[in-house]
Copies of this chain bind each other. A is one copy, B any other.
């Protein structure tokens, strides 16, 4: 009988859950708004309810549950160190809460790490040994697949590509440092830089979609913002090419939708900075799984028997 697991991807705005089989097929899916303001217990309760819905509709028994969360955490026990975009989770033993609520075998993983696993399993980095996955969304997330495995580091916090410094005396970052890549290449940063250049965006628009629309409609300032963001990303990725020599770098998240404006200056900056030999065989590619990368990566972790 085919293995089926439950997966969830918890975002700052939405919670998505699915039943997934060992081929990566989504058998059933559901979603709900993330409760905000809320408590870790309230979020765990909602995750539990969506998981029950998925189990009831999976068409097979599912005993393992993988959850992607927007946080740096101790993956072995699901303790949340910091969740910049969902601070209500900070310090919680989130894995334990969900285990108590559901009775399932739980794995909790950073959402960008889960996306890297998803893209490696079914997407743009399939078949590579060493790859990086970068997600340009509200923040800039990252995940490393090294020697075919997610690389978590000593306590599970590895992969935070968004907090590489690209401007020594640059803008303060939510992480406590300054000049982080996230301040220059996230979708949020793209919207900010566009406003700074006088690009008129719809009230309350915080992502890069409206900037992309303006650029496509001929606004040169809007197009220029994508070039600048891509050059900062190229600078950071060149360092990672020199240090990690990956075969593929996968770029996802909302800002990657502007791939036609992004990929040229990104590649040019990367090639002007990184060593030649590791750059020659490198593929810099757009993510393939869209919003499902984290969900599918969480499913893969559950299938692999991660968690307790």
Contact = CB atoms under 8 A, between A and B. Distances in A.
B177 A245 contact: no
A58 interface: no
Given A168-B166, A168-B235, A272-B176, A155 B243 contact: no
B245 A152 contact: yes
A277 B91 CA distance: 11
B278 A245 contact: no
Contact of A243 (B240, B273, B281): B240
Given A167-B168, A177-B272, A272-B176, A277 B155 contact: yes
Contacts of A60: none
A69 to B, nearest CB: 15
Contacts of A163: 239, 242, 274-275
B281 A159 contact: no
Contacts of A35: none
A197 to B, nearest CB: 19
A159 B243 contact: yes
Given A158-B244, A243-B158, A243-B160, A273 B153 contact: no
A146 interface: yes
Interface in A239-262: 239-240, 242-247
Nearest to A142: B243
Interface in A125-161: 129-130, 142, 144, 146-147, 151-161
Chain A at the B interface: SS class: loop
Given A165-B166, A175-B275, A176-B273, 9 more contacts: A81-B275, A130-B154, A147-B147, A151-B244, A153-B278, A155-B245, A161-B243, A177-B274, A178-B273
A273 B179 CA distance: 10
- A-B pairs, top 4 by smallest CB distance, nearest first, are A153-B245, A164-B239, A160-B242, A158-B245
22 contacts: A82-B276, A129-B154, A142-B243, A147-B147, A151-B244, A152-B245, A154-B246, A154-B278, A155-B245, A157-B275, A157-B277, A158-B244, A158-B245, A163-B275, A164-B239, A164-B242, A165-B239, A165-B273, A166-B168, A176-B273, A176-B276, A177-B274
A281 B154 contact: yes
Given A275-B157, A281-B155, A243 B82 contact: no
Nearest to A280: B155
